[in-house]
Chains A and B, each alone.
Chain A
Amino acid sequence: MKLNRPDFSVILDAIERKTQPARIPFFELFVDAEICEEIMGYRFAQLESEPDRYFSQLISFYVQLGYDYVPFYQSPRFPSLSYIEGDDTATYSRKKRNWINEKAGPIQTFEDVEKAPWPSIDTAVDYSLFECLGKQLPQGMKIIGGAAGGPFEHASFLMGIEKLSIAVYEEPELVAELFSRISDILVGAAERIVSIESVGAYCFGDDLGYKTATIFSPKLLRQFVFPVYKKIAQTAHASNKPFILHSCGNLEEVMDDIIDAGVDAKHSFEDVILPVTEAKKRWGNRISILGGIDVDFLCHATPEQVRTRTLNTLQACAPGGGYALGTGNTVTNYVPIKNYLAMIEAGNEFNLSR
């Protein structure tokens, strides 16, 4: 399976679009643990109890699959969220899965904001874990990651998306204060994380849209969200590291804002919204385009169809650089492993043929 030695400069070239990479690198926001374990053939250690062993296993997976980096994220220790539990319907099921409660969160009033146990920058995430992972990385490999989740996701999780939607009109000062608190922590954490030598690029996911538009209007996103992206991009760039944004949904109306905020690469593309080949044509000269092998397609296609689709995508997206191969979202625990591997093998086949 493995054809490449990890070489972070290859994916960095793709993200920064400075030169055409020597080969097309692979990129995922992350691969679900169930998929990693199924491919490796063993259960991974728990990060909390055996970090060194867990990191060793995580690195082995990403090296074996041919990645130049290991994705690693730590959720900021924001006030506890409200979840609802449901059955995990995935192929490689974790039995139960928690979903954020869309109707409620811990922050509903100014009093909640004041009383909530907000972390300091020092305690927002466990920075030592990034150092610990970094120490185990083989030569040429780096970390891509950061404090998980962007400002929009955190605000909607902390308040509940329905309440947040109402509050932007009825209590705009409360919403501004909430975003301000989130921003301070996210930017502060980013500053600490990008200063770690083994972190090669900063990245988080912040889903802004659904099938036909953004959830909030571009005007509201410009008010509350994009200024945070800009600060994080500036923070990353001050350490000469790029900033990658994973964001699902139809972002057509705000792609200029995302590019202007200084985001170096955009990940997450869905066929029902805009095929990645079109995204590359439209924005590829201004921002790096990552992934785009549609997850729904991966779930229902045959391995041969995946191979054909991957090779066609690479033929369309590789010229000029600024592209890395990967799924349209993440390698979820319901993507058939044979199809995920077919995508990777087609990437290797393409690279060997160049």
Chain B
Amino acid sequence: MIELNDISQAVIEGNAKKAKELTLIAIEKNVPPETILHKGLVPGMDVVGQKFKNNEYYVPEVLIAARAMNAALDILRPKLATDAANYKATVVICTVKGDLHDIGKNIAAMMLEGAGFRVIDLGIAVPTEKVVEAVKLNKPAILGLSALLTTTMTNMKDIIEALEKEGLKDSLKVIVGGAPITEEFAKSIGADGYAPDATIGVQIANALIQGIS
């Protein structure tokens, strides 16, 4: 008998080997993949997020937990396919044009995936037009934009304006984050949410999709 709590615990402990083994056993025992995701992995990453927020976990602990989650997700993904019903919502995320900083965006992406979102990570230094294309193609509920530099955060505004021009802005919510970003800046460019860190980003994403639905 597989306890889904054990899968959660393996994620919390960052034990990738154990998370993978337990997931394989659960599949063999015919536990539905979506149950493993929502009752095993997501609660585990939720605890990780809380610990990160409370300064009990730091970047290394989050990264090893995310790696454990991914080890299990690699098994589940082909079985879950991209059926929208298996995910809370789709998030497109990237670091904006001119900015090559990766790790903050990566942690946010991992946390969102761990919270049950389908995450499409466009990478770093992504031009505005590529973001717009990705929005058209994937129809996300959330667009997450990251910038570390004072000189690149203005590109967030360009993206929001481009989405408005294309008539896409009303179909999604934009969350912004990164070292120089403030609540005031987020409001000034028309973003819907400001995430000082990845955990709060997940909380805002959850709140925003509830608002959308």
Contact = CB atoms under 8 A, between A and B. Distances in A.
Q: Is the interface of B mostly helix, strand, loop or mixed?
A: loop
Interface residues of B, number: 28
B60 A91 contact: no
B196 A212 contact: yes
B100 interface: yes
A272 interface: yes
Interface in B97-114: 98-104, 106
Contacts of A170: 64
Given A217-B61, A253-B55, A334-B150, A99 B101 contact: yes
B169 to A, nearest CB: 24
A103 B103 CA distance: 9
A223 to B, nearest CB: 12
A337 to B, nearest CB: 15
Interface residues of A, number: 34
A282 to B, nearest CB: 18
Contacts of B61: 217
A212 B179 CA distance: 10
A211 B103 contact: no
Interface string A199-230: 00000000000111111110010000000000
Nearest to B154: A89
Contact of A212 (B64, B67, B151, B197): B197
Would you list the 10 A-B pairs with minimal beta carbon distance, nearest first? A165-B60, A89-B151, A89-B98, A217-B58, A86-B100, A165-B63, A212-B197, A99-B100, A334-B151, A296-B180
9 contacts: A102-B101, A166-B60, A166-B67, A210-B104, A210-B197, A213-B58, A215-B58, A272-B196, A334-B149
Interface of A: 84, 86-87, 89-91, 99, 102-103, 161-162, 164-166, 168-170, 210-217, 220, 253, 270, 272, 295-296, 299, 332, 334
